[in-house]
Amino acid sequence: MINRRTLLKRLAATPIVGALFGSAAATSAAGSLLKAPTRDYFSELGLRTFINASGTLTALSGSLMPDEVMEAMDYARHHYVRLDDIQDKVGARIAERLGCEAATVTSGCFSAMTLGMAGVMCGMDEEKVAQLPDPTGLKHEVLMPKPEHYVGYVHALTNAGAKIIEVETVEEMEASVNDLTAMIFVLNAYNGTDISHEDVVRIGKAHDIPTMNDCAADVPPVDVLWKYTDMGYDLVTFSGGKGMRGPQSAGLLLGRADLIAAARLHAPPRGETIGRGMKVNKEEVLGMLVALERYLDMDHEAQWQRWEDQIAYIESVVKEVDSVTTEIHVPEIANHVPNVRISWDQEVIPITGNEVEEKLQAGHPSIELGGGENNVGVSVWMMRPGDERAVAWRIREVLEEAIA
C-alpha cells in the first residue's frame, strides 16, 4: 500500500516546527500538553457533545485537533506576521516535505478547488481576477469524468464561473477539448468512468490544459499526499481537517508553482476577489503545517493496528447478542480506514438501524453513527482511545433492550 522508499524520502526532512514543539511522534493522541480548560463552555451553552463513531463529517465538526496543532495555533496568536509572508514560508515548507513544486494553505478543500480553478482561469492577470465570477472571454469549461453519484463539491468550481462538462470515456474527453476548455477535473473518490488518472494527465499535457484532482478525504494512506502531483497532476486538493486532523477551516492546494501563485491572487489579503471570504489566518496556516508534519511523522502501521484493535473489541462485545453479525469494510479510496457494519435479524431483534442511531444519540454518553435498515455502521477513525468501549456496550445494551 505505502511505497516504503518514497515514504522514507518524504519523511526524511527535519520538520522545523516539530523541532520547536517537540517530536510529534512522541506525543500520543491521548497525551495532553495543554492546560485543562477552566470553563465547561459547551455545557454552559447547553450543547450536546458526543462520541464520534461516524468519521470526519463536516456536520459533526469533522475531527479533533491534536495538542501539537493547538500549541502551534496558540503560539501564532501571540505574534503578528504578514499574511503573505507566512503563506510563502509555510507553502515552501509544505512543498519541500511533499516533494511538489508549490503549495498554499486554503480555508478547506472546497476553497482550494475554487482558488485553484480561479487561478487557472485568470493566470496572473489582475483585471481578469477582478472580473470573476463572470467568465466572459475566459476559458472556463471544465471536463470531468462523470461521478458515480451527484456530489455538490463541484460547486467549488462553478463558484468561480466555470462550467462543468461531464464525460464518460477517454474518446469523449479528447473530443470535448476546445478553445474554451480551461481544466480537467477529477473527483478522486467518485470517478464513475473508466478514464484513468494516466489518461487525464496525458490528455491534459497533450493539449496544455491544467489538471486538478480533488483528494479531500483520501488520506490515509499517507502517500496520496504526493502520489498525484508525482503522477503529473497540475493541482491536487486536500481537506486539512479530515484524516490529518488539522483545523477544520484549513485545506491544501498543491501543485505547479505558476498555478499556485495565480490561485493566491484570489485569496486574502487581496480584496477584490471571489476568494476574499475564504480567509485563513496565521493560526490556521501554522496549525495546518503542524498537522501535516505530525501526520507525516506518525507511525501509520501502529495507528492502523489501534483501529483494528478497537474494531475487534466492538465485534467481541456486540456479537454476544443473538443473531448479530459483523463485517469489516475498508473503502478503497476516501475514508480508507477500517469500519465495521453490525447487522442483526429483525425477527430476533425488532428494531431498525435508524432507531438504534436515535437511541444512541439520546443516550449518555451520546454517540453519533450511521444507521441503516437492519444495521449500523461504526467508524473508529475519529474515536478517542477508549471510546470503543462505550460504543460497543451501548450498542449491545440497545439491542438487548429491543429483544426484551
Ligand X SMILES: *Cc1c(COP(=O)(O)O)cnc(C)c1O
Q: Which of 193, 239, 273, 379 binds ligand X (CB under 6 A)?
A: 239
CA distance 392 to 266: 47
Q: Is residue 159 a contact residue for ligand X (CB under 6 A)?
A: no
Going from the C-alpha of 341 to that of each of 51, 330, 355, 368, 395, the distances in angstroms are 17, 11, 16, 14, 12
CA distance 398 to 135: 55
Instruction: List, in sequence order, every residue forming a beta bridge with 368; answer none if it has no partner.
Output: 52
Q: Is residue 293 a contact residue for ligand X (CB under 6 A)?
A: no
C-alpha grid cell, residue 379:
467508524
Q: How far is the CB of 217 from ligand X (least distance, A)?
A: 4
Residue found by looking up cell 439520546 in the block: 362
Q: How far is the CB of 48 from ligand X (least distance, A)?
A: 22
Q: Is residue 251 a contact residue for ligand X (CB under 6 A)?
A: yes
Q: How far is the CB of 103 from ligand X (least distance, A)?
A: 15
CB closer to ligand X, 108 vs 135: 108
Q: How far is the CB of 215 from ligand X (least distance, A)?
A: 8
What is the number of the residue whose Cβ is closest to ligand X? Answer: 108
Q: How far is the CB of 191 from ligand X (least distance, A)?
A: 11
Q: Using CB under 6 A, which of the segments 34-42, 64-72, 105-113, 366-374 binds ligand X?
A: 105-113
CA distance 183 to 207: 10
In sequence order, which residues have a C-beta less than 8 Å from that of residue 334 and are 6 or more positions away? 188, 189, 216, 217, 218
Q: Is residue 291 a contact residue for ligand X (CB under 6 A)?
A: no
Q: Is residue 381 a contact residue for ligand X (CB under 6 A)?
A: no
CB closer to ligand X, 122 vs 189: 189
CA distance 239 to 288: 10
Q: How far is the CB of 53 from ligand X (least distance, A)?
A: 19
Going from the C-alpha of 324 to that of each of 208, 319, 349, the distances in angstroms are 55, 5, 9
Q: Is residue 115 a contact residue for ligand X (CB under 6 A)?
A: no
CA 105 to chain centre: 13
CB closer to ligand X, 251 vs 338: 251
CB 387 within 8 A of CB 369: no
Q: Is residue 283 a contact residue for ligand X (CB under 6 A)?
A: no
Q: Is residue 275 a contact residue for ligand X (CB under 6 A)?
A: no
Going from the C-alpha of 237 to that of each of 4, 114, 187, 307, 384, the distances in angstroms are 23, 10, 10, 26, 27
Q: Which of 75, 153, 304, 313 binds ligand X (CB under 6 A)?
A: 153
- Residue 8: what residue type? L
Q: Using CB under 6 A, which of the segments 104-112, 117-125, 129-137, 269-277 binds ligand X?
A: 104-112
Q: How far is the CB of 234 from ligand X (least distance, A)?
A: 18
Q: Is residue 109 a contact residue for ligand X (CB under 6 A)?
A: yes
SS3 for 291-335, per residue?
HHHHHHHCCHHHHHHHHHHHHHHHHHHHCCCCCCEEEEECCCCCC
Q: How far is the CB of 55 from ligand X (least distance, A)?
A: 10
CB closer to ligand X, 285 vs 395: 285
Q: Which of 90, 216, 292, 383 binds ligand X (CB under 6 A)?
A: 216
Q: Which residues bind ligand X (CB under 6 A)?
A: 58, 108-110, 153, 187, 189, 214, 216-217, 239, 251
